[in-house]
Structure formats: structure tokens, C-alpha cells
A and B are shown apart, each in its own frame.
Chain A
Amino acid sequence: MTCPGTISAAFHLTHDCNLRCRYCYTGRKFGAAMTREVAAQGVAFALAEGARGAAHHLEIIFFGGEPLLERDLLLEIADRATAGAPPGLRVSFKLSTNGVLLTEATLDELLRRRVFVSISLDGDPTVHDEQRPDAAGHGTSARLAAAIDRLLRVNPCANVTCVVTPATAGKLDASVPWLHERGFAYLSTALDWSAPWTAADLEVLAGAYRRLGDWYFERTRAGEKFYLSCFDERIRTRTQGPVGRHERCDIGCRQFSIAPSGRLYPCVQFVHEDRDGGFLIGDVYRGFDEERRRALGAASTAPRVECDGCALQPRCSSWCACVNWQSAGALDRPSALVCEHERLLIEIADQTANRLWDRRDPVFLHKQYNPAWPVLDFAERVWVREGAGVREDAPAGEKGPP
């Protein structure tokens, strides 16, 4: 199998974690970390896969458990991959962390290696502490306050991921603005797909999305530039077209996970406690089991006949086999939860976008239709610093956030 373009390799550095998030899908927390030997072989394997697939970009993602529990190993992997990358293969790094161990020194080391940090935060302290306690059951939001400031100081474009559960669905429209006011401009929301969502829960969530749509509209009209995944990803399926085949993870092909043992899985969702042989697709020593990989790929891309004739099919994310599997236990069938969620969210996202289009809002237009937007946004945040409420380079008539 050849997979051109970008290849993503997730290194699960450990099964252990300093938190006990209520919705975590990685299973029991135990201290089985990746050894240096496995890590070295994993790097060699990932680089070889990049070269074999004629990829131009290898993205290494550090995952866990909590990857910063193996901070030194993480840094070693980054150094090894950078040094070993062949000409023509760009290597980038991403870290998904709970942020509790993000000290100044660690951040400096990550910055030196250009590791992009994505932090998980579920909203204001009440919500966050309820869903993401530490191993002793204590809240962690207070410990994160300094880490957030440090992170945003060095990277104003850092991403925050907010997990939504049935218990917190009704507070999403408060959580997102709280995170935004905290300083995050790139906000990702993710449903806990494995939770037992009911129709009533989705009604509550729909109400929160509608209120969030009002917030999105007002903030955009106020000239604020931000990315909110739940709306922007759906709007994008219209403004830039459906997610192309080449953009999908192509389960096990463009993306794979390396468990601490060195075994290979098609996605982070399947590593769990590294005991499930059903989704194992090889290991870093012997390579991929191509037959298994192909079978999983075929199952994940099988046509969703239940979706035939649906007007939203080109825009729906039911193509994601992992999400379907998490919520309904099958790779090749659309999940009822995903279907209901997409139906309600696409409509709300479109209503919000329509309102902004009716006003020909320049921030909305350029964000959605101008390919230079991400670069300009990044440059503005990084190169043009905000003074005391007034931007140095403020456009005419604009003084900064209200």
C-alpha cells in the first residue's frame, strides 16, 4: 500500500497518566512506557514509511496516557526524527497533553524542537475539574492556570481541545467563550462518542450549539479572529468542498499509532491497553500486516448505503470509521449518534454562516474563502503583539477587543 502526501505517526509514549478523565478511551492507566529501543525503532520505521510512500511530510504526534510523563523520551524521539529525516521529507511534531506537567523548562525544550502543543481543557474550572480530576480525585484547573499563560505567551496559536459529554453538553456555550477569553483562538470541540447519549441529551446540546452560534456571530462581527472546530469544519465542507479522499486519515494508511510495546494500530482510538488483537496491524520490527491493514481500510471506506440519498452526505463526517466504531461498534456503518449530531450541527453552522454572509462580514469571508488566511492570522498573532488594549497595527477605526 502506498500513501502519498502526509503521513501521521502517533507515538503512544506510555499508558500511564496523572489524570483520571471520566471519558478517557485509552483504558486503564498503568506504568508501561515505551522503551528507548522501541522508540528508536519506531522512529526508523516512521521515517522509512515516509520514504516508502513518497510522502513529503511526516507528522509525529506524541500521545499517551500523558506523554509528558516520558518527557525525555519525547525529546529524544524528536531529535532522532529530525536528524534522521531524508532530504525531501519534512518532519513536524505535535503534542497532545493535559498540560499539568507543562513547566517553563519543558516548554522551552518543546519550543526549540518546534513541537506544536495542543492542550486539553474542558471549560471553566467547574466543568474541567468535574471531568478531569487527577489520580487522587482532585481538580486540576488551578494547576493549569500558569501552564496556559506560559503556552499562550510562546504560541498564541496553540490549540485547546474541549471534550463534551452528556453531563456538560448544556454548558458548551459557556465553556467555549471562557476558553476564548482565557486567550485561546484555536478551539476544538470533541464529543465523547463512547458516552450513552440520548435524544434528550442531543436536544440540550443543540440548544448549546445555537447559543454558541450567536456567540460565534457576535465575536466575528466584532472583528475577532478565531477558529472554532464544530462550526468551522462544517462551514468548510461547503466553502472548500467535502473532505477529499486525500485528506482523510485512510485508517491505517495515512495515519497509524505505535503503542508503547511497538505494536501498530490504525488510529489512537484503537490502542487502548494494547491487548486487542482485532485492530493490530503489525509492529515496528516486522512492519505492517498488509492484509489486515487492507481489510481495515476496506471496511472503513466501504460505501455507507444507509446514507444513500442523504442531502448532507458530502458534508457529514460519517466517513470517519473510528468515530463510528467508538459510538456504534462498527467501522463500516454510520453511527446513529454521529448521524443525529451531524444533522443538527450542520444546520446550526449553516444558519450562523448565512447570517455572516448576509452582512458580507470581511472576517468571515476571508477566513472561509481566502487561502492566505491561516498564514496572515498566525503572522498577526505572532508578529503584531497587543499592547494595553490597543493593537500596534490596528486597522483603521479598530481599537482592539471590547
Chain B
Amino acid sequence: MKKPRPLQVRQVRRYATPRYPSHTDPDPTRLPAPVPFPFGKKLLAAAASLGLVAGARGVGAEDPAPAAPKANPFTLEHSGLPYETSSFGTGQPGRLSEEQARGVIERIFRDAGYALTKDVRIARGDVSFTADGYDAEKKVGFVWVAGARADSDMIVSWRKPEVETPATDPARLSLKEAAELEARAVKEREFIALISPYDRRFEYERWSEDLAKELQEARQISDPAKRAIAEREIHEKAVRVALTNLERCVREYIEWARSQGAQ
């Protein structure tokens, strides 16, 4: 007779990511389009009047009024470029890594129906750079303006801010090219989002009273293991907020691009 298998603790090394959205993904009840609330209209009206739900649509509700015209959320103005370096390293906010950002950006473009090819050289007259992801058929893509993609004039040294470092690399995006790209997007119907880690909307743990208070409370925890857990949770929460902001902006960019004629 076969011996019964003993129960055992065993790690799951590989687990297929579930398809349904996680807490770091955009709210699927609102994006890409609001999902009707599965409650009656009277209840929703009462709940809305109490501020429990904002703009809720019940099943069978009429379409809402048209939304306000969209704007490009990834302009140079938002980008934080050129980035001026600091003379000190402490107190700097956290910034999303390229890996973190690309994971989000590529997924949203993919969900929106774009097939992005990586590392595509773009040459349009006097604008020449490498896009991180580009759908040549639909002329939509993005560039993560940092590191290998950003030309020298994108960074200003704190030592000599008055000195302009000239752009030198045709494979990298310069300030002038970025401005040109932004200006020509609608006319050329080519939409390449300029996404920068220096965009303040995607920074996290920038000093604030609330953050200082949270960290202070965590540091009061005497048990080192619990303190580490508390501090990690504060950090992870902050990163999640930054990623959520990035997701929202990428979706807004796609909506804007489509409103301007993108496929």
C-alpha cells in the first residue's frame, strides 16, 4: 500500500501572473472606460448625493456629457528638463527607475492596442534620436528621456548652470529636438510621448510634513524587524502612488493623441 504523502512547506518558485489587475494597476472600474455600477439608479443617486460615489453610472444609464478637451500630459514643461544637478545627495526625492517605468508604459500602450518595437531610430529632418518604444504603423511611441536617451543639454551642472552643454549625439534626444517633436506632433500625426524621471509627478518621498511624521512614527518602533517592515511599507506605498500617477498620465497621453488624430 502506497505511503501517504506528508504535508510539507514548499516554496512556489514560479507562478503565472494572474490576468486580473493588481493593486498597482490602474483602476479597472474607471479605465479605460467607466464600468457601470451594478446597483439601481435610485440607490446610486442617493449615494452620489451623499458623496459616496462620484459620477457613478448605473446599469442602463445614459452616456454622460462629453469630457473636456484633452491636453498632452507629457510636454517639456512637465518633464523637469533640463535637469539641474544638486550639490548634495541627501534629501533628494525618489525617482522611478527605467525598469519600473517601462514596465508600466509598455503595458498600457500594449493594452491600448499598440505594438511597440524597442529601440527604434527616429530621424525626421533635424530631429534624430532613439525611441524606447515605437509603433511604426500607427506612428505612436515613447521615449524615456534619461540615461542613454538624453543628450548632454538635458542636464545642467550645479557648478556652472550658466554654461550650456551643447547637444552632440544624434542618437540622443536634445532639448531642441524635444521641443520640435512636441510642436510637430499634431501636424505630422506622429505621437511620441516624452516621459522623464525628473517629472515631479513621478517623484516620491519628496520631503513633506506628512512623510516626515510617518517615518518618525516608524522609527519609534523598537523591534528592528517590525521597524524595517513599517519603513518598507511607507516606501512601497510611495512608489505605488508614483506609478499610479505615471499610469494615469500615459493613458491620458493616448487619449489625447487619439483625440488629435492618432490611430
A binding-site residues for B, Cβ under 8 Å: 197-200, 202, 223, 225, 235, 238-241, 244-245, 294, 297-298, 301-303, 306-312, 334-337, 339-340, 343, 350, 353-354, 356-358, 360, 362-363, 365-366, 368-370, 372, 375-376, 379-380, 383-384, 391-398
B binding-site residues for A, Cβ under 8 Å: 4-15, 18-23, 27-29, 35-44, 46-47, 52-53, 58-60, 223, 225-226, 229-230, 233
CA distance A198 to B2 in the complex (A): 14
Asked if A376 and B12 make an inter-chain contact with CB atoms under 8 angstroms apart, the answer reads no
Asked if A309 and B13 make an inter-chain contact with CB atoms under 8 angstroms apart, the answer reads yes
Q: Nearest Cβ in chain A — how far from B40, in angstroms?
A: 3
What B residues does A199 contact at CB under 8 A? 4-7
Asked if B37 and A366 make an inter-chain contact with CB atoms under 8 angstroms apart, the answer reads yes
Q: Which residue in chain B gives the minimum CB-CB distance to A294?
A: B223
- Pick from B15, B40, B59: contact of A391, CB below 8 A: B40
Given A309-B11, A339-B9, A339-B10, is A369 in contact with B59 using a C-beta cutoff of 8 Å? Answer: no
Q: Nearest Cβ in chain A — how far from B237, in angstroms?
A: 9
What B residues does A309 contact at CB under 8 A? 11, 13
- Pick from A239, A297, A340: contact of B223, CB below 8 A: A297
What B residues does A294 contact at CB under 8 A? 223
Given A200-B4, A238-B23, A380-B39, is A365 in contact with B28 using a C-beta cutoff of 8 Å? Answer: yes
- Pick from B8, B23, B46: contact of A379, CB below 8 A: B46
Asked if B43 and A393 make an inter-chain contact with CB atoms under 8 angstroms apart, the answer reads yes
Q: Nearest Cβ in chain A — how far from B55, in angstroms?
A: 12
Asked if B11 and A310 make an inter-chain contact with CB atoms under 8 angstroms apart, the answer reads yes
Asked if B7 and A362 make an inter-chain contact with CB atoms under 8 angstroms apart, the answer reads no
What A residues does B4 contact at CB under 8 A? 198-200
Most chain B CB within 10 A, of A200, A358, A363, A393, is at A393
Asked if A396 and B226 make an inter-chain contact with CB atoms under 8 angstroms apart, the answer reads no
Asked if A311 and B13 make an inter-chain contact with CB atoms under 8 angstroms apart, the answer reads yes
What B residues does A245 contact at CB under 8 A? 226, 229-230, 233
Asked if B59 and A301 make an inter-chain contact with CB atoms under 8 angstroms apart, the answer reads no
- Pick from B20, B47, B58: contact of A372, CB below 8 A: B47
Asked if A363 and B38 make an inter-chain contact with CB atoms under 8 angstroms apart, the answer reads yes
10 further A-B contacts with Cβ under 8 Å, apart from A312-B12, A353-B18, are A239-B22, A301-B226, A306-B11, A311-B15, A357-B21, A362-B37, A366-B37, A379-B46, A383-B46, A395-B59
